[in-house]
Amino acid sequence: MTNSEIYNTILRNAHNGVTRKQLAGLLSCKSTAQRRNLDAVLAQMLDERVIYSDCVTDRYYAAQGDGVGTAVFSAHPRGFGFLTREDPPDLFVHAAKTHGAFNGDTVLFRRIDNTADEAEILCVISRGTKYLVGTLDAHAFKHFVVPDDRHFACDVYIPANKTLGARHGQKVAVKINSFPADNRRCPEGEITEVLGYPYQKDVDMLCVARSYLLTQRFPDECVKRAESLPRSIRADDLIGRRDLRNCKIFTIDGADAKDLDDAVSVTDNGDGTFCLGVHIADVSHYVRPDDAIDRQAFERGTSVYFPQTVYPMLPTQLSNGICSLFQGVDRLTVSCVMTIDARGKVCDYDIFPSVINSCHRMTYTDVQAILDGDAALSAEYSDITKQLFAMRRLAEILQNRRDLRGNIEFETKEVSFEYDSNGNVVNIVPYRYTFAHRIIEEFMIVANETVAQFARDCGYPFVYRVHAEPDSDKLSQLYALMQTVGIKVKPSKQVHGSVLGDALDQAKNTPYFYLVNDVMLRTMQKAKYSVENTGHFGLASRCYCHFTSPIRRYPDLVVHRILKTALAGKMTDKAMLAYEQMTADCARQSNVRERAAVEAERKADDVKKCQYARTLLGQTFTAIISGVTERGIFAQLANTVEGFVSADKLGDVNYFADKFCFQSDSARYRLGDEITVSVANADIRQCKIDFDLADNTQNRT
């Protein structure tokens, strides 16, 4: 019995799959030794992904063959769905051909003959949803949880002894213990946490957090390890470190920041050059590879920031304690000190372990006030005022250098929420971004580039931050939009950042700036972590990494470990091999966790905006058309609240839509057009806001 005999037998039964027992019978495996050999070969073939096993029926399927592949299933509430693949296009799956797959499952599929983009699911390889959040529907002796995620089409059955005392109508977190063989029956699960009634304070944010498996609690082993760490610097900690405690080094952060992981210092050398010091909390001194804290940090990947709440990567004993660069206390750091000339070029640099004592805990607001001439604050911080103005000059030089090489300066619509005493959103205001923010941004970018360049030149295994050029098809659509609104740009499949930067500059003088800005952002590829340095298109950087935030990002922590090993002269062949594995694992996991964090943060903001929109029902506002679909148009208010105007509210029965325009017999609605809307409905469960068209006379054709 050879591997090929086993594989060919599975392949001959490819449509319905074959169980281990059936396989043993087909191959005449009668003795214990033969069955053990069969199990060993099956395990090897599964590891090599030559075959796959259905996690529901335990049937085996061949992973190869015409039109066969793996993908992630995205379910629609009405039963059908789509398969998202690495190689486009996505494939459509009829409800009758989903083979028990639920939203997010990884599946094995086969393309259907004589169709352009249809497929059937052969088996479910792994479940994508094991935990979810929903509302308990309790009647008599039957309990079901109705999922918040409308793509998860089935309710979850909860046995009476698994309800955790939850009551009808409460929001709950659920663990799914078993899935049915098809979508006609409900999965079975148990309630793991009762979150509260929907109207209770903070329950809306808890629902979002738990749906992304976010928690502020850490495992007992992790907490115990964190509590065993020292609360202050010890003499042994200073061995091999450069003492910078007498230098004028300080932090600049938001007023409400608690995890202060970067401090800066600048000296104007008087010869046209500057000495810039970027000093980053040495988290790696306290978090050792594969200890309890490290395992939890790897799993989380990043801190996640919700309105009024943070879900930290590290226990607070570190993030808000021994690792945070508080004013007036000694802290361990890794410093990157650079000599930068008048053109913004790094002429020389030195990277080393250090110890600092921050002389001030500055805020962006106070720094900007000093730069704007506030006499009282200038007097209060007279010991660093001269340094702050040197920082401004250096930041301007660095910004100009990046602009010349093709940096794209997008404008993001960050907002702050204002609350009443009950925690309800009463206002949404744009986040005020000042040049004080720019100073820190420029300093962090040049430090990240310098560290990445050092690692690349030395040939060390490393975690780079990379950003690919825009997809050519999306770029063509962007060019078409810009030409439609009168922005002059020469279309090209190969694009330099300066071309897009120039287009944004042109757009600033038109009503279409935010439209072009937003569409250009959507055109960009997603930045990611990689062990291969392929450059960063958006920053126009040939070599970039994340070094400056090890309290809140796991890749920065790994970068620190590599740097310290190299600087200590301990980068042996054994260490190189270990770091090759560590960086590969880090890049893969951090990309997954970053995507989840971005989705969770966006969802949390959307829930708060939806909550606020409920206070605006019936009110009329001016809005900008921000999206066009065949079902209608999206419009965004000045405070970034976005709602949907369905096609039936736009007047005519006959209409057509493309990516930029929705046009009927008598009216036209283009991306970027100004319209008047009223807030009609706000559904927090679906996170959906509906607008009515208040006046469309300006859109008449």
Radius of gyration of the chain (CA): 28
Residue with tokens 């049915």: 180
Q: What is the pLDDT of residues 131-171, one digit of tens each?
A: 999 999 998 789 999 999 888 888 999 999 999 999 999 99
Say if residue 425's pLDDT is above 60. Answer: yes
Say if residue 247's pLDDT is above 70. Answer: yes
CA distance 287 to 291: 7
Say if residue 700's pLDDT is above 60. Answer: no
Q: Fold match between 3-62 and 617-699?
A: no
- What pLDDT is attached to residue 604? 95
Tell me which of 389 and 77 has the higher pLDDT.
Answer: 389
Asked if 7 and 45 touch (Cβ cutoff 8 Å), the reply is: yes
Quick one: CATH architecture of 3-62?
Orthogonal Bundle (1.10)
Q: Which residues contact 217 (CB under 8 A, 6 or more apart)?
A: none
Q: What is the pLDDT of residues 652-669, one digit of tens each?
A: 666 777 777 888 777 888
Token couple for 172: 């709950």
Strand stretches in 463-568, DSSP E: 464-466, 528-530
Q: Which residues contact 56 (CB under 8 A, 6 or more apart)?
A: 100, 123, 124, 179, 180, 181
Which DSSP helix (H) or strand (E) runs through 283? none
Say if residue 495's pLDDT is above 90. Answer: no
Q: What is the pLDDT of residues 290-311, one digit of tens each?
A: 999 999 999 999 999 999 899 9
Q: What is the pLDDT of residues 506-536, one digit of tens each?
A: 888 777 787 788 888 888 889 999 999 999 9
- What pLDDT is attached to residue 554? 98
- What pLDDT is attached to residue 459? 96
Q: Pick one of 3.50.40.10, 1.20.1440.230, 2.40.50.140, 2.60.40.10 as the CATH number of 68-126.
A: 2.40.50.140
- What pLDDT is attached to residue 667? 83
Instruction: Give residue 384's pLDDT band: very low, low, confident or very high (50, 70, 90).
Output: very high
Q: Which residues contact 141 (CB under 8 A, 6 or more apart)?
A: 160
CA distance 573 to 588: 23
Which DSSP helix (H) or strand (E) runs through 678? strand 674-683
Say if residue 498's pLDDT is above 70. Answer: yes
Instruction: Give residue 701's pLDDT band: very low, low, confident or very high (50, 70, 90).
Output: low
> pTM for the whole thing?
0.87
Asked if 20 and 38 touch (Cβ cutoff 8 Å), the reply is: yes
CA distance 626 to 100: 37
C-alpha dihedral (214, 216, 219, 221), degrees to nearest 10: 140
Strands 251-253, 361-363: pairing is parallel
Instruction: Give residue 473's pLDDT band: very low, low, confident or very high (50, 70, 90).
Output: confident
Asked if 275 and 339 touch (Cβ cutoff 8 Å), the reply is: yes
Q: What is the pLDDT of residues 169-192, one digit of tens each?
A: 999 999 999 988 776 788 999 999
Asked if 266 and 398 touch (Cβ cutoff 8 Å), the reply is: no
Give the sign of the dihedral formed by CA 14, CA 17, CA 20, CA 22.
negative
CA distance 178 to 185: 11
Quick one: CATH architecture of 131-200?
Beta Barrel (2.40)
Domain map (residue ranges) of the chain: 3-62, 68-126, 131-200, 220-462+545-599, 617-699
- Angle CA 92–12–2, to nearest 5: 125
Compute the average pLDDT of residues 419-429: 89
Q: What is the pLDDT of residues 261-295, one digit of tens each?
A: 999 999 999 999 999 999 999 999 999 999 999 99
* Homologous superfamily, domain 617-699: Nucleic acid-binding proteins (2.40.50.140)
